[in-house]
Each structure stands twice: as C-alpha cells, then as structure tokens.
C-alpha cells in the first residue's frame, strides 16, 4: 500500500467508504457513508492501519469531524516566528507611547515627541527568526517546520550597521522610520505648527530645529545647535539653543527667556530676558528688554528703536534710536562682555576664597610643626591629620595657579573691549545711560546722529554728520 494510493483513497466496505491520508501525512480518515457502516468500518480499520504503516497519533476511538471519521492525527510542526527589526532606543519608545496619550494621566507638556539619539548610540537590533518546532506525521516520521522569515535593515541617512545585527547612529539627531521601514537619524527636524499641548516641550539634538508656528506660553524649546521659529515667542516660554536662533516674530513677556549659543536674530523684543553667545540682529525694536550679548548688536529697519531696559554687550552697538521722548531710562553698556565678566568675577572671588583656605591650612601646619618639635614627634592620629592638610594645601595651590593663568587670559581679552562703540543713527534721548568699558555718562539732552567711544578713560561723543566732537563726563 503506497503513499500515493493512500492519498487517492482506499475503498473499503465494498466502496461504501474510502480510507485516505492527507497529503501532508498528518491525518488519516474515512469518508463516505460513515454513519451507516460504523461497525463494519471499525472491524476493517486495524488491518488497513497496519498495512498503511500508520503508527503515530492513533485515536483510541475514531472521532467524527464534519462528514469524515478521523482515525489518526499527527503533530503538526510549528512555523518559526518571523524575524523583525526592533528599535531599542528608549527615546523612540517614549515617543511612540506619547502618540496615544491619555490626557487624564499624561503631562501634556512632557510628551517626548522627538526620539533624540546621540552619535554612536545603538538605535535598533535585528531579532533573528526562530527555526520553529518539528512535528511528527502519522507514519512516525519527523515533520520539519517552516522557519520564520529573516528581516534585514533598511538603512537611511545618519545610521550604519555596526555588525550584522546592530544599527547605530552616525550623528546626533532624531530617529525616523518611513512607511517602507527605512530607519534614519535626521539632522534637521521640522515641527509643523505651534509648540503647545499638541507637541509638549520640544527638544532636538541635531543640527537644526525648525518650528513653522509660534511657541505658546509656558512651553520650552531646546535645540542642541541652530533653531528657527517662524512665528513669535509668547509669555513665559523658554528658548534654548547651542547655535544660532532666528525668530520671525516678536519675543514677548518679562518671564520669557532666550539663550542662544552663537547669535540671535528676531523681529522685536518686548520685556524678555535674552542671552547671546554671539551677535544679535533686531529688525524692528527692543522694548524694556534685558539683553546680554558677547558679540555686537544691531537694531535697524522698522523702528530701529531701543527704549528702556538694559543692554550689555562685549562688542559694539548700532541703533537708529535709543530712549524715548518720555526720557525712560535706557542703559547700554558696550565693551563689557557680560558672560565673560561674570566668569572673570567668579574666578577672582574663588581665588580669594582659595587664598584664605591656603593661608589657614599653612597656619595649621606651622602649629603642628611647633608641636612636633616640642614633643619630638606626632602620634599616628596627628600624623594622619598632617598628611591630609599637606595634600589639601597642594591641591589648593595647584587650583590657584590654574585660575591665575585663566584670569590673566581673561584680562588680556577684556582689554580689547575698550575699542567698542555705540552708534545712534537718528536720536539718543535724554536720560539714556551710556557705558563703554570703564567709563559711563548719562545724557542730559537729546543728541542726533552720534557715536560714542572710549578714549583716554572717558567717553567721546562724535557727531556723524558734523566735524566737532564732544567729550563726555563719567557719571
């Protein structure tokens, strides 16, 4: 009795029924007029089973399944699980969770929408398919499973395969995966629309972050490098960037803070606090703002106005108008790098503290020296204290020398700030306070078309359209 014959069927009970084996060798059954000839079938089955060589999965009592009587059933092999690509970066998992946030349980300001990763970070792994589990057919033969499908990485920009099963980022940025499963690390990211409860706070580690709308009050935007906000920045927002910041609209509110690592440009500023590690370009006006910049400042176009507030900068300033007809106090201090000055003042203060500590330690060591001489030695406890003080003195002395070198470097750099100037193309109103390097003056009357500079310890006033100069007086 061959397998082919079994697949086609063996007639039994004078053709009233047929004994068959499924072509996958996993089921033996009888079909036909089964219900009418159950006793006859049960009598002939043992011999047919033996002749067919069926030895596995035999039913003690054959079972009806639909219109057929199942005599034996083998163990089907289990297909292996397909392989997959799993993004392992925690930031990606967090961003996926936030897609289905429950407003009742999730902080709508901390949604972590952008999956930031650092260069060299492992972002995905290849999970290999499993071979599956073998089965056993009704002839006692092993039934081989079908293995799972192998998945391969689809590599985009900013990633590379470190080994056959690991994907790493080749740059700082955000993970993205398109509809085809291509994984990339984006160096530029666009937030389409406003930063608000739909986005939560925004943080991006790549080269450039672009926000096509505005930043709502109370939200924070952080960019590792450059940042573009095409709209405005509203009350209580915090904007931080390691590179240049460009804001198309107005920066508003006293509680709004902007920090730019290498420069800032915007339309206008009202009352906000701004810190810039480079130049600042304002295309309309500054109103009662607190602005500190390491570089130069230009306020021109539109009103070209600086009214109220305090402006401190390491370089030179150019504006069309400073102050107001109401004589609102407006302070402009050029040639004084505010960040550098604070660092310098901090180092000087630390030097004073360290010098006092060193003096106290050396005084204590002198006392110990006298005690040691008088007693002919020190006990173990005092000897340990002496060693500790000596180590502390050496460490503090080293810190003092390092800081001394840095202070000298800063003083040399700050000396060049005396070349800074303040240029007012149209009008400087009365009650404006002008500071350049180590000199200052308060205007007692309006001046037009003037430039202020530091010369021989005083502030020199030069009229841009006239030949005569004026020497200002220190406050």
pLDDT-derived band at 475 (thresholds 50, 70, 90) equals: very low
pLDDT digits 0-9 by tens, 17-45 = 999 999 999 999 999 988 888 888 888 99
Report whether pLDDT(330) > 90: yes
pLDDT class of 103 with cuts at 50, 70, 90? very low
Name the phi and psi angles at 120, rounded to 5: 90, -5
- Report which of residues 377 and 309 the model is more confident about: 309
Check residue 111 and give its pLDDT. Answer: 73
Ordered by start, the domain boundaries in the chain are 3-73, 84-130+149-186, 340-417
How do residues 361-388 score in pLDDT, each as one tens digit? 999 899 888 888 888 888 888 889 889 9
Predicted pLDDT of residue 413: 67
Least confident of 71-85, 268-282, 338-352, 389-403: 338-352
As a whole number, mean pLDDT of residues 297-316 equals 94
Secondary structure of the chain in the HEC alphabet? CCHHHHHHCEEECCCCEEEEECCCCCEEEEEECCCCCHHHHHHHHHHHHHHHCCCCCEEEEEEEECCEEEEEECECCECCCCCEEEECCHHHHHHHHHCCCCCCCCCCCCCCCCCEECCCCEEEEEECCCCCECEECCCCCEECCCCCCCCCCCECCCEEEEECCEEEECCCEEEEECCCCCEEEECEEEECCCECCCCCCEEECCCEEEECCCECCCCEEEECCEEEECCCECCCCEEEECCEEEEEEEEECCCCEEEECCEEEEEEEECCEEEECCEEEEEEEEEEEEEEECCCEEECCCCCEEEEEEEEECCCEEEEEECCCCCCCEEEEECCCHHHHHHHHHHHHHHHHHHHHHHHHHHHHHHHHHHHHHHCCCCHHHHHHHHHHHHHHHHHHHHHHHHHHHHHHHHHHHHHHHHCEEEEEEEECCCEEEEECCEEEECCCCEEEEEEEEECCEEEEEECCCCCEEECCCC
Model confidence, pTM: 0.74
The percent of residues in the chain predicted with pLDDT above 90, rounded, is 71
- For 395-431, the pLDDT digits (tens) are 999 999 998 988 888 777 665 567 889 999 999 999 9
Q: Give the pLDDT score at 455.
A: 87
- pLDDT attached to residue 107: 57
Average pLDDT (290-308) is: 94
Please determine, for residue 93, whether its predicted confidence score (pLDDT) is greater than 60. Answer: yes
Judge whether 317 and 452 are in contact, CB under 8 Å. Answer: no
**pLDDT value at residue 472:** 54
What is the pLDDT of the chain when averaged over all its residues? 90
CATH of domain 84-130+149-186: 2.40.50.100
Please say if the pLDDT value at position 334 is more than 70. yes
Per-residue model confidence (pLDDT) at position 473: 45
Place of tokens 């997959």: 84
Average pLDDT value for residue range 198-220: 95
Residue 115 has pLDDT above 70, yes or no: yes
| Residue 318 pLDDT | 97
CB 321 within 8 A of CB 304: yes
Report the candidate in 444, 451, 441 with the shortest Cα–Cα distance to residue 331.
441
Q: Which of 279, 206, 266, 277 is nearest to 237 (CA)?
A: 266
pLDDT score at 302: 92
- Tell me the average pLDDT across 145-158: 94
Q: pLDDT tens for residues 431-445? A: 999 999 879 999 999
Mean pLDDT on 9-15: 89
395: tokens are: 């460490």
């Amino acid at each position: 009795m061959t397998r082919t014959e079994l697949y086609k069927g063996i007639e039994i009970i004078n053709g009233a029924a047929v004994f068959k084996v499924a072509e996958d060798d996993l089921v033996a059954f009888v079909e036909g007029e089964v219900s009418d000839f159950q006793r006859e079938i049960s009598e002939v089955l043992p011999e047919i089973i033996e002749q067919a060589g069926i030895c596995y999965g035999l039913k003690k009592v054959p079972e009806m399944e639909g219109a057929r009587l199942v005599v034996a059933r083998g163990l089907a092999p289990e297909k292996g699980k397909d392989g997959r690509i799993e993004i392992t970066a925690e930031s990606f998992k967090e961003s996926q969770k936030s897609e289905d946030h429950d407003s009742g349980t999730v902080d709508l300001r901390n949604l972590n929408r952008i999956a930031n990763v650092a260069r060299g970070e492992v972002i995905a792994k290849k999970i290999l398919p499993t071979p599956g589990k073998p089965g056993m057919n009704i002839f006692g033969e092993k039934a081989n499973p079908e293995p799972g499908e192998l998945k391969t990485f689809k590599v985009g920009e900013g990633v590379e395969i470190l080994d056959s099963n690991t994907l790493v980022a080749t740059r700082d940025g955000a993970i993205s995966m398109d509809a085809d499963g291509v994984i990339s690390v984006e160096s530029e990211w666009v937030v389409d629309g406003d930063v608000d409860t739909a986005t939560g706070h925004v943080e991006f580690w790549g080269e450039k972050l672009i926000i096509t709308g505005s930043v709502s009050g109370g939200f924070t935007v952080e960019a590792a490098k450059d940042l573009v906000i095409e709209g405005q920045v509203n009350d209580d927002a915090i904007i931080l960037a390691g590179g240049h910041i460009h804001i198309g609209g107005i920066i508003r509110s006293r509680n709004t803070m902007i920090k730019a690592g290498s420069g800032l440009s915007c339309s206008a500023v009202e009352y906000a606090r701004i810190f810039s590690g480079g130049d600042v370009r304002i295309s309309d006006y500054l109103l009662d703002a607190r602005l500190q910049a390491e570089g130069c400042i230009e306020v021109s176009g539109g009103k070209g106005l600086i009214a109220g507030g305090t402006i401190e900068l390491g370089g030179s300033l150019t504006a069309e108008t400073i102050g107001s007809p109401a004589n609102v106090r407006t302070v402009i201090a050029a040639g004084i790098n505010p960040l550098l000055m604070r660092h310098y003042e901090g180092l000087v203060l630390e030097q004073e503290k360290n010098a006092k500590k060193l003096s106290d330690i050396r005084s204590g060591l002198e006392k110990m020296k006298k005690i040691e001489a008088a007693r002919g030695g020190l006990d173990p406890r005092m000897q340990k204290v002496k060693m500790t003080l000596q180590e502390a003195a050496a460490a503090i002395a080293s810190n003092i020398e390092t800081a001394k070198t840095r202070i000298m470097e800063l003083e040399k750099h700050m000396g060049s700030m005396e070349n800074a100037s303040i240029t007012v193309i149209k009008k400087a109103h009365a009650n404006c306070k002008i500071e350049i390097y180590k000199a200052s003056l308060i205007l007692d009357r309006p001046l037009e078309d003037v430039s202020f500079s530091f010369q021989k310890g005083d502030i020199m006033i030069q009229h841009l359209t006239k030949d005569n100069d004026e020497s200002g007086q220190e406050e």
